[in-house]
Amino acid sequence: MDSRGLRSDLAAIVGPGGLVGPEEATDRYERGYRYGKGRALAIVRPGTTAEVADIVRYCFRNDVRLISQGANTGLVAASTPDAAGDQLVVSLERLRGVEAIDANNRSALALAGTRLSELNRETARHDLSLPIDLGADPSVGGMIATNTGGSRLLRYGDVQRNLLGLEAVLADAEGTVLTDLKGLRKDNSGIDLKQLFVGTGGSFGIITRAQVELHRLPRQSAAALIVPSSHADIPELLTILEAQAGEFLSAFEGMSANAMRAALAHNPRLRNPFAPDDPPQYVVLVELSSALATERVNLAEHLTQILGHLMETGHPAVVDARFGPPEQLWAIRHSISDGLKAGAKVIGFDICVARSRLPQLRTRLLELLAADYPFLRVCDFGHCGDGGDHFNLAWPDEAARQYDTEMVTAVRERVYDTVVNQFGGSFSAEHGVGPYNLDYYRRYTPRSERHVASRLKDICDPKRLLGAIDFS
């Protein structure tokens, strides 16, 4: 449709300040954090749910495709327009703010464009937080659309587990607004419709508000880097820590030597806990945390006793342990992604299997790559505690073999086939589904499941105008 007429009509809905003008920079709306670069028909920034509903009704009448966008920090291109130039980007950056905090209910009501950092700044005044630990600063709506997990999922769960209610606008003729913001932890009075919008990449509706569960801020934490005798011992180490540390265990993260080297080389401010030696072949970052004061329980002493006993008795689960301030150890973990990008092209994977099978999967993948792609460097790290692994491969700039996109596709298919078909795992553990990995969704998702998803899409978005993906 005519761009000038569209902009005039949208300005009547949101006001001139609600539109990104032709003279303004649009790259941050049209380019994804890692993947996705397209061209928007226009960019509109509603400030209320009513404005979102009006925009949806307008798009329905005029057959305008639209895509909702939060902080645009996703990794599968689900929040950016495609190259056709006929999608309206509905940015929720003006739809932000924490509207209510109920400290006794441990819950907060926030608008969908609210950043996680903003939410936690407000909730910290009440000694509370939404403890989803991520490398990015996403919006509340985007976290729901992708069902974000993070490094402390082992303790607190994913966004779905912490979602008490939401408000969303369907892409139908009426711009139907579904609202369930009661903040209840138990409500078995009917279908839990909010789950339709969790992990569906913004394709079933535009989330405008959310009610989330909060948790007490930790008053103390303790961390260590643990070296097991082999990767195969990691599930037993996890079992031991869960038994002996109980509910204090908040994170159990794995890091390969290559991943740690990349972080240490990229960020000279990091301290190598194993200096002057190289990092061991594989280490596990363990964290204990508690809202209790140290006079009630001292987690640093508790963790030292657990690991000390395992080393004294010669248990293979722990052959070495290095203690340090948690923020220093976490700094290594959080520097890996940027470190990998320096000096190599990264082939990223976000995979997951049953956590007991993760060592077997890793062994199988290492064998596969050593045999057929020996020039690729495995730099994996991830969430051993929940079976997830960012099985990243680095194609070094100095590799004798020139970077080949067709070979990258072949590598990706070999890895995914192994994960899904041989180990019953997932090709997308926590990044969601978007245009970047839509082909794999169709390849590995049973036809019956896709059929049900497609029928739900028809109900919520009968003209299929909304979102970057089609679940058919």
DSSP string computed for 422-462: IT--BSBSSS---TTTHHHHHHHS-HHHHHHHHHHHHHH-T
3-state secondary structure of 70: coil
* Helix 49-62 and helix 3-14, axial crossing angle in degrees, nearest 10: 150
Angle of helix 234-245 relative to helix 299-312, nearest 10 degrees, comes to 130
Percent of the chain beyond pLDDT 70?
A: 100
Residue 212 C-alpha from the chain's centroid:
17
**Residues facing 223 on adjacent strands:** 287, 324
pLDDT tens per residue, range 140-178: 999 999 999 889 999 999 999 999 999 999 999 999 999
Residue 423 pLDDT exceeds 70: yes
Say what the pLDDT of residue 371 is: 97
Q: Which residues of 105-115 are buried (b: 16+ CB within 10 A; e: fewer)?
A: ebbbbbbbbbb
For residue 287 the two structure tokens come to 């964290």
d(CA 41, CA 465): 14
- Distance in angstroms (rounded) separating the CA atoms of residues 288 and 304: 11
How far apart CA 234 and CA 206 sit, in angstroms, is 41
Average pLDDT over residues 204-231: 97
> What does the alpha-carbon distance between residue 103 and residue 215 come to, in Å, rounded to a whole number?
10
Instruction: Give the mean pLDDT of 397-408.
Output: 85
pLDDT in tens, 222-239: 999 999 999 999 999 999
**If you average pLDDT over residues 335-357, what whole number do you get?**
92
pLDDT in tens, 271-297: 999 999 899 999 999 999 999 988 889
Alpha helices in 114-180 (DSSP H): 116-124, 140-146, 153-156
Residues 56-92: pLDDT tens digits? 999 999 999 999 999 998 888 899 999 999 999 999 9
29-41 pLDDT tens trace? 999 887 788 999 9
Tokens at 244, concatenated = 């002996």
Average pLDDT of span 443-457: 95
Report, as an integer, the average pLDDT of 108-118.
98
Domains annotated on the chain, with CATH: 3-91 (3.30.43.10), 98-216 (3.30.465.10), 220-261+274-330 (3.30.70.2190), 343-422 (3.30.70.2740)
The mean pLDDT of the chain is 94
Residue 59 backbone phi and psi in degrees, to 5? -65, -35
The answer, yes or no, to whether residue 1 has pLDDT greater than 70, is no
Instruction: Tell me how long the chain is.
Output: 472
The pLDDT value recorded for residue 341 is 84
Q: Which two tokens stand for residue 209?
A: 């508000």
Residue 59 has what pLDDT?
Answer: 97
* pTM attached to this predicted model: 0.93
Return the pLDDT at 441. 95
Cα–Cα separations (whole angstroms), residue 159 to 36, 214, 269, 333, 459:
24, 11, 32, 22, 25
Q: Say what the pLDDT of residue 130 is.
A: 97
DSSP state of 398: T
Mean pLDDT across the stretch 18-30?
A: 86
Model confidence over 385-395: pLDDT tens digits? Answer: 999 999 999 99
Residue 252, pLDDT > 90, answer yes
What is the C-alpha to C-alpha distance for residues 150 and 128, in angstroms, rounded to an integer? 18
